[in-house]
Amino acid sequence: MAQKKMVTAITSMNEDFAQWYTDIVKKAELVDYSSVRGCMILRPYGYAIWENIQKILDQRFKETGHENVGMPLFIPESLLQKEKDHVEGFAPEVAWVTMGGNEKLTDRLCVRPTSETLFCEHYAHIIHSYRDLPKLYNQWCSVVRWEKTTRPFLRTMEFWWQEGHTMHETAQEAIEETERMLNIYADVCENQLAIPVIKGKKTDKEKFAGAEATYTIEAMMHDGKALQSGTSHYFGDGFAKAFDIAFTGRDNTLQHPFQTSWGMSTRIIGAIIMTHGDDNGLVLPPAIAPIQVVIVPVAQHTEGVLDKAYELKERLQKLVRVKVDDTDNSPGWKFAEYEMKGVPLRLEIGPKDIEKGQCVIVRRDNREKYFVPLDQLEQKLPELMQAVHDGLYAKALQNRIEKTTAATNMEEMKAATDGKNGFVKAMWCGDLACEEKLKEECGISSRCMPFEQEHLSDTCVCCGKKAKAMVIWGKAY
């Protein structure tokens, strides 16, 4: 009975996971499409989720000494070309502004796909002495990448993100910064979004264009595929040299600073959907849910019911983000609606409840039902929200454990990936050729070399030569 399906309008996730995803982003009113190919409209509910994620991240960035700035939307072609690897990586996928008003431009402008080059140009203006370091800047904006096939949140031509760009006196400090920011991303994913992640380093093939090293957090979606959820890059002093950024050091010599960048985007909302959602719709972790508790009055035309509902809202809004739905729709319709929207807790209150001085609370994640005395709500609601968070995290972790295997040779690798998703742990020799072969023969890519290494065997799963590292392999969004 508790498992009875109340919303039949969306495709079941086991039937067609991709269609289930599309149904949710539309029916939960997260996005709408527009006539701009590949760009999404973030509707109020989708945008409110993003605002909550922004608030959490922004606070963490500021606590660690970072400052927000606003950089131009455009990058002149001549500026983009200053760092060779970077332009090779990005030029094929940018939008070009060639006309301003009725004038043809001599130096085309690309719409920023990322802003390393703009930050470097600015840093060259303002960094002169070791006293000017570190510079710890971040910007909230949208960027554009000319993608061929797009899906809301997961891959869109325009997406919203933050991009941190920092400059440091020493390589050591810059490397510590990449780790610090990766740890913040991982902590927010696990403790706010209830998404377990694996921290690791990207292989050279998968690293950011122009970076010396890219660090990543990788999450597993319900269908076993991987989603790269945040990255942090160490640049060494490569860009600094290309952009003539130099400072007088403590020893009075001219030196180049060491650089990082790191980003998390609206893609993470795709991760939330595909990690926690079910056949009744979205399931939101309480920390970022725009509505944490929805109050549904039962028999709301009975005297006193609506008044009690408003009174509870008034009381509880100091504690949680709460809404009363007093529309004329039936309670059953409302239950289904807020399940679709993933509201973590539903509070039902009717005439009999009021008589008994209690209400009914239903958890979105497992539909467990609680009778809670009205005077205990201030204590119970935070407990139940924590319980929803913990339940979501445990379920996601269990899914990852179940869908993670290990392989020591190609036969095992093929068995582990043939018609199946999931993570496969396997040793790797470090050669690009093996990565490419695994891509071709098994359809998988290296997700990362986890910081927590295991020794599965001495030899590369692909070529049998001496292994250098354990890699997590998988199919990825």
Chain residues in the site for its own copies (CB under 8 A)? 32, 34-36, 39-44, 46-48, 50-51, 67-76, 78-79, 92-103, 108-109, 111, 118, 121-122, 125-126, 137, 141-142, 144, 146, 158, 160
User: For its own copies, which is the closer residue by CB, 41 or 299?
Assistant: 41
User: For its own copies, which is the closer residue by CB, 72 or 357?
Assistant: 72
Shortest Å distance, C-beta 24 to its own copies: 17
470 touches 454 (CB < 8 A):
yes
User: For its own copies, which is the closer residue by CB, 39 or 463?
Assistant: 39
Three-state helix/strand/coil letters over 391-441: HHHHHHHHHHHHCEEECCCHHHHHHHHCCCCCEEEEEECCCHHHHHHHHHH
User: Which 3 state secondary structure label does DSSP give 215?
Assistant: strand
Q: Cα separation of 444 and 421, whole Å?
A: 9
Phi, psi of 294 (to 5 degrees): -105, 130
In the numeric block, the tokens 């939008």 are attached to: 95
User: For its own copies, which is the closer residue by CB, 140 or 370?
Assistant: 140
User: For its own copies, which is the closer residue by CB, 118 or 322?
Assistant: 118
Shortest Å distance, C-beta 197 to its own copies: 25
User: For its own copies, which is the closer residue by CB, 72 or 373?
Assistant: 72
Shortest Å distance, C-beta 32 to its own copies: 6
User: For its own copies, which is the closer residue by CB, 144 or 416?
Assistant: 144
Enumerate the β-bridge partners of residue 450: 200
User: For its own copies, which is the closer residue by CB, 83 or 218?
Assistant: 83
User: For its own copies, which is the closer residue by CB, 69 or 415?
Assistant: 69
Run of H or E residues at 190: helix 171-191
Shortest Å distance, C-beta 141 to its own copies: 8
Shortest Å distance, C-beta 40 to its own copies: 7
Tokens of 389: 């968070």
337 touches 321 (CB < 8 A):
no
User: For its own copies, which is the closer residue by CB, 61 or 208?
Assistant: 61
Shortest Å distance, C-beta 185 to its own copies: 21
Shortest Å distance, C-beta 114 to its own copies: 15
Phi, psi of 444 (to 5 degrees): -115, 160
User: For its own copies, which is the closer residue by CB, 114 or 399?
Assistant: 114
Shortest Å distance, C-beta 315 to its own copies: 20
270 touches 152 (CB < 8 A):
yes
> CB pairs under 8 A, 24+ apart, for 201-206?
201/448, 201/449, 201/451, 202/231, 202/446, 202/448, 202/449, 203/428, 203/435, 203/446, 203/449, 203/471, 204/432, 205/432, 205/435, 205/436, 205/446, 206/445, 206/446
Q: Cα separation of 454 and 428, whole Å?
A: 12
Q: Cα separation of 453 and 365, whole Å?
A: 33
> CB pairs under 8 A, 24+ apart, for 368-371?
368/2, 369/2
Closest to 381 measured CA to CA, from 394, 393, 370, 396: 370
User: For its own copies, which is the closer residue by CB, 99 or 299?
Assistant: 99
Shortest Å distance, C-beta 54 to its own copies: 11
| Eight-class DSSP state of 112 | P
Shortest Å distance, C-beta 18 to its own copies: 22
Q: Cα separation of 248 and 461, whole Å?
A: 48
Between the CA atoms of 270, 276, 280 and 284, what dihedral angle is there, to the nearest 10 degrees? Answer: -80
Shortest Å distance, C-beta 321 to its own copies: 12
Between the CA atoms of 17, 20, 24 and 26, what dihedral angle is there, to the nearest 10 degrees? Answer: 120
Shortest Å distance, C-beta 238 to its own copies: 20
Three-state helix/strand/coil letters over 309-350: HHHHHHHHCCCCCEEECCCCCCHHHHHHHHHHCCCCEEEEEC
